[in-house]
């Protein structure tokens, strides 16, 4: 990652290819020269008050315990160009998504986020032309190509892929999906879920968030074998779309614009995290951008707050329900996100 440096190129990995196959590998990278303008997605608008209340009622009637999303580890990190080499204990919700190559070997190409012991959130575009048997996930390992230790890693097969029904490939609207795993993850220091934002919530411009992944460290560079993270500011959608020349809908958010600091190819589907006190809050999913790490050019993320209900409805098989922050606890003040309660795992608006 992290020098997340094509108009609307999606940030996923294709395996190394040569010859004719090289032209096919980039077939999922689209050039879009749409009329500039912020627009509402016709299939998704900010939920009405009654819709929010219905989800609150469903959530409060759900007797499952809340997944322990408010707990994270602490780890020392060291700097690299444009980002930071990270330890998985500091980002235990980070997921490497892998597809099988023709030789049967798994190949990491996208990222994701743990939300329950059976579910991972990622980007829909990572799963184009994929069936559940084509994909596995790996959590709990900082270096995804290094020798495995007894505690590393947790590898799970995918038994169901639920892409948002209104995902649109040319525009990347509704670029979100939920994976159901074949067996539960064992939560511990290196495997733990992130929390979800309130249904309908947005992120204040200027808020700092972190992108985490194993993507390329330069646009034309090699992918990183080691987990990395970078801190980026959220920016106004109108400002974001000018250099991209791509419609930025209200179900997207933008971040970055800093030279050599970005997500990049291979980070697609991974998390954009804002901290609620010490708890990781999944507010964005890495979607697309223009090259990587260009000054005043921004990365685009799926705005998770508009999909909280969609995500929740896919998690019925889990033994715990996703942790969803209360809107009362979530307040945007000034140029940073501020919350006013310690009740991370309660979502009671009454």
Give me the active site residues, please: 125, 175, 268
> What does the chain come to in residues?
350
DSSP annotation string for 141-188: -SBSSSPPPTT--EEEEEEEEEE-TT-BTTTTBT--EEEEESS----B
What SS3 class is residue 334?
coil
Nearest to 95 by CA among 204, 185, 171, 31: 185
DSSP element (H, E) containing 106: strand 106-116
Dihedral sign from CA coordinates of 173, 178, 30, 97: positive
CA distance 234 to 174: 19
Partners of 209 in the β-ladder: 232
Phi-psi region of 182 (alpha: psi -120 to 50; beta: other; left: phi over 0): alpha
Judge contact between 132 and 158, C-beta under 8 A. Answer: yes
CA distance 123 to 25: 18
Sort strands 135-139 and 119-122 into parallel, antiparallel or unpaired.
unpaired
DSSP element (H, E) containing 254: strand 252-256
The answer for residues whose C-beta is within 8 angstroms of residue 188's C-beta and 6 or more apart is: 92, 140
Judge contact between 267 and 228, C-beta under 8 A. Answer: no
- Write out the two tokens for 311: 């995500």
């Amino acid at each position: 990652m992290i020098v997340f440096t094509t108009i609307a190129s999606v940030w996923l990995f294709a395996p190394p290819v040569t010859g004719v196959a090289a032209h096919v590998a980039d077939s999922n990278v689209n050039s879009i020269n749409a009329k500039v303008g912020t627009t509402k997605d016709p299939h998704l608008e900010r939920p009405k008050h009654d819709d929010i209340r219905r989800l609150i009622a469903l959530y409060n009637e759900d007797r499952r315990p809340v997944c322990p999303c408010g707990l994270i580890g602490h780890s020392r990190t060291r700097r690299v160009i444009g980002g930071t080499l990270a330890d998985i204990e500091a980002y235990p919700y980070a997921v490497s998504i892998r597809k099988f190559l023709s030789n049967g070997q798994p190949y990491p190409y996208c990222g994701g986020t743990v939300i329950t012991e059976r579910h991972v959130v990622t980007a829909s575009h990572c799963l184009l032309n994929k069936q559940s048997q084509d994909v596995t996930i790996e959590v709990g390992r900082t270096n995804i190509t290094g020798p495995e230790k007894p505690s590393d890693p947790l590898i799970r097969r995918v038994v169901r892929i639920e892409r948002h029904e209104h995902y649109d490939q040319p525009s990347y609207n509704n670029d979100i999906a939920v994976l159901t795993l074949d067996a539960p993850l064992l939560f511990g220091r290196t495997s733990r879920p992130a929390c979800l934002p309130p249904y309908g919530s947005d992120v204040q411009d200027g808020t700092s968030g972190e992108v985490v992944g194993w993507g390329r460290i330069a646009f034309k560079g090699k992918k990183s074998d080691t987990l990395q993270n970078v801190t980026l500011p959220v920016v106004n959608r109108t400002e974001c779309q000018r250099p991209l020349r791509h419609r930025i809908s209200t179900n997207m958010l933008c971040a970055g614009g800093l030279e050599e600091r970005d997500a990049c190819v291979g980070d697609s589907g991974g998390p954009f995290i804002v901290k609620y006190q010490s708890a990781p809050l999944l507010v964005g999913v890495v979607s697309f951008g223009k090259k990587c790490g260009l000054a005043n050019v921004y990365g685009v993320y799926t705005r998770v707050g508009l999909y909280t209900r969609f995500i929740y409805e896919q998690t019925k098989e889990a033994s715990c329900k996703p942790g969803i922050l209360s809107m009362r606890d979530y307040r945007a003040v000034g140029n940073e996100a501020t919350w006013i309660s310690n009740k991370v795992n309660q979502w009671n608006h009454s």
